[in-house]
């Protein structure tokens, strides 16, 4: 790598909930710089979550994130002409990024409804420990556990 690593930008909390996690979700949903559209999708989603669960939407959202964040993942490493899948612990920031990515992919693959409804459904399912995003996390964890024999290759 040449030069310095780019500094981390500090995100402002979103205007409605005062949460930086909600701001990150808005930024991940945003396409072509249309932030107000993405904000409306997220706010509608959180409103649907609060209607369906009768709980604080931020609490449900935080629980969903915790249930989806992985602690281990596998990385490929070439050792002696063979590729090994080596289990590695996931750094804090990457855990959050993967959780958001998996929740959004799971919501986008559903068909036939508004994005706010699909996202709300996935967040509710993830907060209960079910749904496609939690299944993806379990698959990644299971893969890391299965390859624990190659952990000694990690440096």
Q: What is the pLDDT of residues 103-137, one digit of tens each?
A: 999 999 999 999 999 999 999 999 999 999 999 99
- Which pLDDT score, from 0 to 100, does residue 33 have? 93
Contacts 24+ apart (CB under 8 A), 72-80: 72/140, 72/141, 72/144, 72/145, 73/98, 73/140, 73/143, 73/144, 74/140, 74/143, 74/144, 74/147, 77/153, 77/154, 79/153
Q: Is position 89 within any domain? A: no
- Quick check: 155 pLDDT over 80? no
Per-residue pLDDT, 115? 93
In a domain, 135, yes or no: yes
Q: What is the pLDDT of residues 35-94, one digit of tens each?
A: 999 999 999 999 999 999 999 999 999 999 999 999 988 888 888 888 888 888 998 889
In contact, 69 and 96? CB cutoff 8 Å: yes
The three-state secondary structure class of 114 is coil
Q: Where in the sequence is the domain holding 51, given as residue range(s)?
A: 20-68+95-153
CATH number at residue 51: 1.10.455.10
**Cβ-Cβ contacts under 8 Å for 63 (sequence gap 6 or more):** 126, 127
Strand partners, 77: 84
- Burial class of 87 by CB neighbour count within 10 A (0 to 12, 13 to 18, 19+): buried
| Residue 101, pLDDT score | 95
The phi-psi region of residue 151 (left if phi > 0; otherwise alpha if psi is between -120 and 50; otherwise beta) is alpha
Task: Evaluate whether residue 79 is within a structural domain.
Answer: no
Question: H helices within the chain, ranges in order?
Answer: 20-29, 35-53, 57-68, 92-109, 115-127, 132-146
Query: Has residue 9 been placed in a domain?
Result: no
pLDDT at position 150 is 78
Q: Is residue 136 part of a domain?
A: yes
Q: How many domains does the chain have?
A: 1
* pLDDT for position 113: 92
Q: Does residue 118 lie in a domain region?
A: yes
Q: What is the pLDDT, as a whole number, of residue 138?
A: 94
**Does 82 fall in a domain?**
no
Domain membership flag for residue 130: yes
Task: Identify the pLDDT of residue 69.
Answer: 94
């Amino acid at each position: 790598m040449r030069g310095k690593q780019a500094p981390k930008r500090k995100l402002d909390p979103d205007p409605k909930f005062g949460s930086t996690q909600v701001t990150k979700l808005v930024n991940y949903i945003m396409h072509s710089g249309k932030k107000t559209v993405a904000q409306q999708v997220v706010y509608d989603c959180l409103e649907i979550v609060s209607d369906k669960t009768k709980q604080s939407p931020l609490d449900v959202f935080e629980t969903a994130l915790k249930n989806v964040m992985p602690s281990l993942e596998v990385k490929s490493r070439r050792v002696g002409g063979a590729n090994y899948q080596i289990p590695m612990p996931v750094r804090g920031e990457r855990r959050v990024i993967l959780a958001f990515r998996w929740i959004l992919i799971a919501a986008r693959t559903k068909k036939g409804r508004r994005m706010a409804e699909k996202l709300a459904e996935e967040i509710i399912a993830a907060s209960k420990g079910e749904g496609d995003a939690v299944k993806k996390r379990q698959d990644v964890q299971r893969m890391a556990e299965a390859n624990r024999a190659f952990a000694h290759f990690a440096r």
